[in-house]
Amino acid sequence: MKNALPVPDPGVADHRSPWRYLTWLARRQGRPLLYGIGWGVTWMLSMALTPAVIGRAIDDGVAAKDAGALVTWSAVLLGLALLTAASSGLRHRLAVFCWLSAAYRTVQVVTRQSTRLGATLSKRMSAGEVVSVGISDVSHIGDALDIVIRGTAAVIAIVAVIVLMLIASPPLGLVVLVGVPLILLVAAPLMRPYRRRHERLRELVGDLNTRATDIVAGLRVLRGIGGEHLFADRYREESQRVRRAGVETARAESMLSGAEVLLPGLLVVAVTWMGARYAVSDTMTPGELITVYGYAVFLVHPLATLGEAADKITKGYVAAGRVVRILALDPDLPADGTAEPSGAELVDPVSGLVAWPGGLTAVAAADPADADAIADRLGHYAEVEGADVTYGGVPLRDLARLRERIIVTVNDDVLLSGRLADTLTGGVPGRDLAGPIRAASADDIVDTVGRDAHVVEAGREFSGGQQQRLRLVRALAADPEVLVLVEPTSAVDAHTEARIAERLGEMRAGRTTVVCTTSPLVLDRADQVAFVENGVVVAEGAHRELLDREPRYAATVTRGEDRDRVTDHA
């Protein structure tokens, strides 16, 4: 894409535990985090010193009737106010930066891992879990890094206030010194049920998202069989479970929030009551009373920040656990395959299929499920123990760069959103599109919308036949050593299918191509046709040969020839 800025490498995440992952994020943005903590401490301390300045202004200026002292302390108060405003803005800016860095670095590592896992991800984790990571978990992880700045500043501010109060009034300082840890000890037991209920809520939300994605993906089918009401009822039941879990979580959170207000409030009352008694007995000046009261009221803020930190870090920990679970998955296909094939024939011992190098082999199956199973095995998306597909005599599990060498394309593949040319080249610069576009008979589509046209999600603006042809363009543009196509022309009209059948072999000359189809137009252009029945190749030869000598094959492909076609309106 033109003028695109380079995306920095997010690095290798430490996924041994949620805490280690959060710590890794903190280290990756250590400098802005430390700067943010510095400005956060300045912000908190400038507010903490304000009651002391006000108290001195009252005692030295108002009570002593000294205008000069009053002006001096008023100037100091103005300076603190300006420092508070400036440090607050800088602290907030750095906190937002850390939030965005943590959230989007998480998006990067999860997206990279999802790409690495490929088909393994959908086998090990539901779509709803992955969707929830992108919707809510990244936000909670960002919040956890954001609150580190204010939480650290709050701890330092509490310590500073306790020291200042011990200096101003040792008895009141001792009350605060004992009261603050006591508040934290009383509030701590409320964290465990909150964390447990939040984890439960997160699991249910993931399950509900999975149900929603399944319903949306199969909506047409559900309507066709009248099953939308059944699935709607199931979704309603699951959503009610999520609601009840949300209520339980909110109940625990409200108790925690209430404790954040009540317990510091009791401390303020105690300190104010003791300070007022000292003031009445002339043990404390009016300015000192105002100072002590200001300290006590100020403590509500950092203590509430600690409560907020406990909440956000708990949510961040739960969210990081989900991310760690994804990052800990290993692909079914080992990444360290190093074997290079000595030949290039692709052999499936389960079905007996042999795809010879450089040719176009067609697989016509009496049951389409058998063809799908063969395609999955040829791409190593499924395997039978003890009967691994081999390429040039090398088992696929040991083959170096398998995913680059063998590509399987099915009609469930989606067109990614973005610029059309980038979608068709997979974002790889330098790939030729002219030949693949012609071979897939997609000239009319590209000429109409242009290569710079924006493709919406899943290519919804294109008809079924147009999507199928664009998927074929993308597969041909990748130019793998072996290309496996599953019913690549099932949604196009007969004239378009004839052009694709004629050009496909030319485009793939010198490369191995396997096409699973029952289309006579495609079968007639194949170098070799394998007829599959009950999952096994029962006959091989040219299309016209098999029509003459294999009645079962003739019945299968004749049915394919007379099948209802989806007209391509492009």
pLDDT, one tens digit per residue, over 181-202 is: 777 677 666 666 666 666 676 6
pLDDT of residue 560: 43
pLDDT of residue 184: 66
pLDDT, one tens digit per residue, over 299-333 is: 878 887 887 888 788 888 888 888 888 888 877 66
Cβ atoms 523, 517 nearer than 8 A = yes
Query: Rounded CA gap, 436 and 421, in Å?
Result: 12
Average per-residue pLDDT in the chain? 80
Residues in contact with 463: Cβ distance below 8 Å, sequence separation at least 6, in sequence order: 568, 569, 570
Tokens linked to 417? 């959103």
Least confident of 72-76, 109-113, 157-161, 183-187: 183-187
Tokens linked to 136? 């809510």
pLDDT of residue 569: 39
Cβ atoms 110, 141 nearer than 8 A = no
pLDDT of residue 570: 42
The one-letter amino acid at 536:
V
Residues in contact with 261: Cβ distance below 8 Å, sequence separation at least 6, in sequence order: 300, 304
- Select from 421, 436, 491 the least CA-distant residue to 463: 491
Least confident of 23-32, 141-150, 291-300: 291-300
Q: What is the mean pLDDT of residues 465-474?
A: 89
Query: Rounded CA gap, 196 and 256, in Å?
Result: 14
Q: How confident is the model at residue 542 (pLDDT cuts 50, 70, 90)?
A: very high
Q: How confident is the model at residue 538 (pLDDT cuts 50, 70, 90)?
A: very high
pLDDT of residue 412: 79
3-state SS of 441-452?
CCHHHHHHHCCC
Tokens linked to 74? 């008023």
Q: Which residue is it, tokens 């083959």? A: 399
pLDDT of residue 568: 43
Given the DSSP bridges, would you call strands 360-365 and 512-516 parallel, antiparallel or unpaired? parallel
> Is residue 297 packed enough to be buried (19+ CB in 10 Å), middle (13-18) or exposed (0-12)?
middle
The one-letter amino acid at 134:
G
**Whole-Å CA distances, 245 to 4, 194, 197, 242, 252:** 44, 11, 7, 5, 11
Q: What is the mean pLDDT of residues 33-48?
A: 92
Least confident of 173-182, 350-359, 406-415: 173-182
Q: How confident is the model at residue 3 (pLDDT cuts 50, 70, 90)?
A: very low
Q: Is the pLDDT of residue 277 over 50?
A: yes
Q: How confident is the model at residue 383 (pLDDT cuts 50, 70, 90)?
A: confident
pLDDT, one tens digit per residue, over 88-132 is: 999 999 999 999 988 888 888 888 888 777 767 766 766 666 766
3-state SS of 384-422?
CCCCCCEECCEEHHHECCHHHHEEEECCCCCCCCEEHHH
pLDDT of residue 285: 77
Give the three-class secondary structure for 282: coil
Q: Which range in 79-83, 326-330, 561-565 is most confidently predicted, on average pLDDT?
A: 79-83
Task: Determine the angle formed by the axes of helices 286-327 and 138-168, rounding to 10 degrees.
Answer: 150
DSSP label of 58:
I
Q: Which residue is it, tokens 């040039």? A: 392
Q: What are the structural domains of the chain? A: 18-327 (1.20.1560.10), 346-561 (3.40.50.300)
pLDDT of residue 129: 67
pLDDT of residue 209: 62
First and final CA of the chain: distance in angstroms? 27
> Is residue 231 packed enough to be buried (19+ CB in 10 Å), middle (13-18) or exposed (0-12)?
middle
Q: Which residue is it, tokens 């969707």? A: 131
The one-letter amino acid at 367:
D
Least confident of 54-68, 145-159, 239-253, 529-543: 239-253
What pTM was estimated for this model as a whole? 0.63
369-403: b or e for each residue (b if 16 or more CB lie within 10 Å)?
ebbbbbbbbbbbbbbeeeebbbbbebebebbeebe
Least confident of 174-178, 195-199, 266-270, 490-494: 195-199
Query: Rounded CA gap, 44 and 41, in Å?
Result: 5
In this structure, the chain runs to a length of 570
